[in-house]
Amino acid sequence: MLYFKHLTMKKFFLKNSVRGAFFVAAFLFVFAMSGQAQVAMENSGTIFIKNLTLGSDNSDVATLKQVLNSNPLTSVQKSGLVEEKSTYFGPDTRRAVIKFQELYKETVLYPSGLTKGTGFVGPSTRAKLNELAKNLNLQQNFAVSDPVVSNTTESDSLIARLRALLGVGARVQVNMAENYQVSPQGTLVLAGSGFLPNQNTVHIDGKYLVSNVGSLTGTSLKVNLPKEISLGKHSVWVTNSNGSSRNPATEIYFVVTENPASNPVITSVSPDFAAQDEEIIIKGRSFTPSGNNLYTTLGNVTNISSSGGDTLRVNLSSFPVMAALASNPELKGTRYNVAMYVQNENGVSLKPFMFTIQIK
């Protein structure tokens, strides 16, 4: 039976040599692509691209230990008789990771609703590690002149096309203009992902093109505005071999003005542990007299007025999620970490402000 099947397969490939060649070519193409994709990921400006946990054994663990040991508060302390080899993630490393997570809890733990370190190196821990690794000059792949990076452009393009077709994978995205208001001939700072070390093209309103803009981190682009750009609101997007960031439903904007204001910032929310029907007082900067919109993990509330540009007042019951929280008696006493952004004509706050509410 096996012999028969073998013969049948052989006949099939002999009779269909063109198709056979196509299959082989397809496999070679796919395997080459997956390898190139990995190279592209590793050159996108990050060292820690995979999660690490107890038992991991690879070169990333050695780099992790380098970062941890750069600060006495997070260094890996030997506790047992046996010293962990440099590439092994053992209990000593886990304890050091917990110390690291708790040291940077505002950016590593709070956004995930955690207050204590877990020892698991997931995306938010990796983001902080990458930030520190960059400062420690551990990032060999960041250099614009890196020959591996410059060789990936053609294959990146093929991958980008196929992935764009399938709607998956790495792609270029602009999240925001970090300085929403910018002066004429000023420098616009775009935050996003999928930027290449070079050969990014910035499109402004589809009228102006700024070519060959470089990004050292893959997540930030600095663009000198064209001299001829007019005052007012402009849309912006980026193209490179990862594709185009443009999405007409979620256009990214900035404003050119002679007197740029800074983005709004939240500095405090009171009272602590506000209940579901209490008013909260939001203190900050660059609030506008009207048209302040709050985007939160309780849902969104729009068009809030501000007195003096530094205070916003809103009742928690105005947020869409509160009704579901308040109506469930099992949730009495539950605390919830809320993330809040404010957006107005001065832009959007760059980071969420975290505060805690309590269901009473």
Partner 1 sequence: MMKIRKMVTLWVLATLLYVTVSPPAMAQNTERDGTDATFPFGGFVSYMMPCTCSAPIQWFFMTPLLLGDAPIVGPLSFNPLKVLPFNGLFSGFNAMPGNWLLGRYMPGMQTCQIYAGTACIILPVLGDITAIGTSEKK
Location of structure tokens 């609030």? 287
Residue 59's nearest CA partner among 68, 69, 70, 47 is: 47
* Residues between 204 and 233 with contacts to partner 1, criterion CB under 8 A: none
Contacts of 200 (CB under 8 A, 6+ apart): 172, 212, 213, 214, 215, 221, 238, 239, 240
CB distance 198 to 214 below 8 Å: yes
Among positions 16, 224, 262, 268, the unique one binding partner 1 when judged by CB under 8 A: 16
Q: Which helix (H) or strand (E) holds 314?
A: strand 311-315
Out of 100, 254, 287, 355, the only residue in the binding site for partner 1 (CB under 8 A) is 254
- Which residue matches tokens 């600060």? 71
Closest CA to 341 of 308, 302, 289: 302
Per-residue mark of binding to partner 1, 159-188 (x: CB under 8 A): ---xx--xxxxx--xxxxx--x--------
Q: How far is the CB of 108 from partner 1 (least distance, A)?
A: 8
> x/- contact string, 33-62, with partner 1 (CB under 8 A)?
xx--xx--x-------xxxxx-xxxx----
Shortest spacing between CB 182 and partner 1, in angstroms: 13
Residues β-bridged to residue 311: 283
Q: Which stretch binds partner 1 (CB under 8 A): 77-85, 91-99, 198-206, 242-250?
A: 242-250
Shortest CB 303 distance to partner 1, Å: 11
111 belongs to the binding site for partner 1 (CB under 8 A): yes
Nearer CB in complex with partner 1: 30/148: 30
Stretch that binds partner 1, among 64-72, 113-121, 143-151, 306-314 (CB under 8 A): 113-121
Please, which of residues 286-325 interact with partner 1 by CB under 8 A?
Answer: 293, 295, 297, 299, 320-321, 324-325
Residues 305/288, Cβ–Cβ less than 8 Å: no
- How much helix, strand and coil, in percent to the nearest 5, is found in the chain? 35, 30, 40
For the CB of residue 72, give the shortest distance to partner 1 in the complex, in Å: 26
From the list 21-29, 69-77, 210-218, 305-313, the region that binds partner 1 by CB under 8 A is: 21-29
Indicate whether 103 belongs to the interface with partner 1 (CB under 8 A).
no
Closest by alpha carbon to 193, among 165, 223, 212, 169?
A: 169
If the CB atoms of residues 16 and 307 are measured against partner 1, the closer one turns out to be 16
Rounded CA-CA distance 112/155 in Å is 36
SS3 4: helix
